[in-house]
Amino acid sequence: MTRTRLLAVAAAGTLMLALGGVGAASAGDGLNVSGTDLAPDQIGYSKNIKHLSNTPHVGPFAGQFGTDLAFQGDRAYVGNYQGFIIYDISNPSSPRTLAQVNCPGSQNDISVRGDLVYLSTDSSRSDDSCESTGQPATIKESWEGIKIFDVSDVTKPKYIKSVETKCGSHTHTVVPGESADYLYVSSYGPRDSFPDCQAPHDLISIVKVPHAAPTSATVVETPVLFPDGGNSGTAGCHDITAYPSKKIAAGACMGDGVIMDISDPEDPKVVETVRDTNFAFWHSATFNSDGTKVVFTDELGGGAGATCDAATGPNRGANAIYDLSAGNDLTFKSYYKIPRHQNTTENCVAHNGSIIPVKGRDVMVQSWYQGGVSLWEFTDSTSPKELDYFERGPLSPSNLGGTWSAYYYNGFVYSSDIQKGFDVLMLKDPTLRKANSVRLKEFNAQTQPVYPIR
């Protein structure tokens, strides 16, 4: 969701445990019912998706936005404007809350690496603590950036380090190194009145986190990716996805889609740039399994607009599919957008997703806010198609909502719904069954692995 749509979060925070049960939402389900045919809050789905469970936000997290997801072992880490939540997902039909970390600061984009959780703060705060309050960015002492937590005891996370970054941290991407992690921090929205967020801001911040001493984490570089200013005043990136095994990354940088050479993680180089007059806001990027294609998303309307309708059409607020050559050249092939028209009260546009690891095919699961979760295929780059879906009817009363991120991890699809909480889905398509045998020890969607596909 874009910076201009950020909402205020609660002022204070404490660390608390919440060990509890889970409620599954199934009343009013509708097989093959979707889009404008769904009643408020009714669940609709296609035949090959089963809704296993829903865990609502509770306590100070109730009413706050759920955001991105990360995974490690049998745990899911879920970002929230109020902090983050750790779930035990060893039984996907009944996730169990291990901890809630109350640490306000939109949008709390999250990743996990070893014993560390990285959290992005992209709202100006009075200080870097979990008890901070909102404070105008016009005040020099205001803080935004990266927070680091030690989660070696997942029931008692400890806040150990903060790193301030220019214009805050809307999202971050982990680029693993031999002796350190590198966080590519994406941020934007410079203004002359913001002392710590001045134009031009055609850069990313690189935070180095030494494995042996994470509390010495610091900004080591702020490389300018667009020395010419970028397309339409790009002024930063929204999100970056790394493919470490190929030493490349794909950046969605507001007005530009780029490929970067990250062979030196402290000195990324833009080696390919594409632009599309049809795109309103380059939001995110996903490689296919072997890194020969890139799916860029257009967040038309900033995540708050109702853009999944006939008036907007099939090519705006959509995915753009590019083939990627061995020389890192991008070639546009087609657009993909969900075919299910939504109501005028439902914010809906392409958002976060990940690959389903199945041999010989390019299949992706993806969030579309109130357009729900879409399972779609782009094996033929010129002819993408939806395979299955899961969605809810419009929120009642109307509000911003829907699924922020939907990722496939170790046999199941996990979705972070902005308003409704944490959903678990099972794919029943027999042609995708072999994906269930793929197991990862850790998964951050913006750090794409080489899947052990059979």
- pLDDT of 362 reads 98
CB contact set of 406 (below 8 Å; sequence gap of 6+): 352, 353, 354, 365, 366, 367, 373, 413, 414, 415, 416, 425
How far apart are the C-alpha atoms of 235 and 229, rounded to whole Å?
7
DSSP state of 254: B
Maximum CA extent, the chain: 57
Contact 38, 46 (CB under 8 A): no
Question: What class does CATH assign to 3-443?
Answer: mainly beta
pLDDT at 20 over 50: no
Q: Mean pLDDT over residues 95-122, rounded?
A: 97
| Mean pLDDT over the full length of the chain | 93
Q: What is the tens place of the pLDDT at every residue in 27-52?
A: 468 999 999 999 999 999 999 999 99
Calculate what percentage of the chain has a pLDDT beyond 70: 94
pTM of the full structure: 0.94
Q: Mean pLDDT over residues 429-442, rounded?
A: 96
Q: What is the tens place of the pLDDT at every residue in 334-384?
A: 999 999 999 999 999 999 999 999 999 999 999 999 999 999 999 999 999
Q: Mean pLDDT over residues 95-113, rounded?
A: 97
pLDDT at 3 over 80: no
Q: Which long-range contacts (CB under 8 A, 24 or more apart) does 226-234 make?
A: 226/202, 226/253, 226/256, 226/270, 227/202, 229/200, 229/202, 230/202, 230/254, 230/255, 230/256, 231/255, 231/256, 231/275, 234/202
- Token pair 């190194």 is found at 177
pLDDT at 265 over 70: yes
Q: What is the tens place of the pLDDT at every residue in 113-156?
A: 999 999 999 999 999 999 999 999 999 999 999 999 999 999 99
Q: What is the tens place of the pLDDT at every residue in 166-212?
A: 999 999 999 999 999 999 999 999 999 999 999 999 999 999 999 99
Q: Mean pLDDT over residues 258-285, rounded?
A: 97
How far apart are the C-alpha atoms of 179 and 359, rounded to whole Å?
33
- pLDDT of 28 reads 66
- pLDDT of 5 reads 39
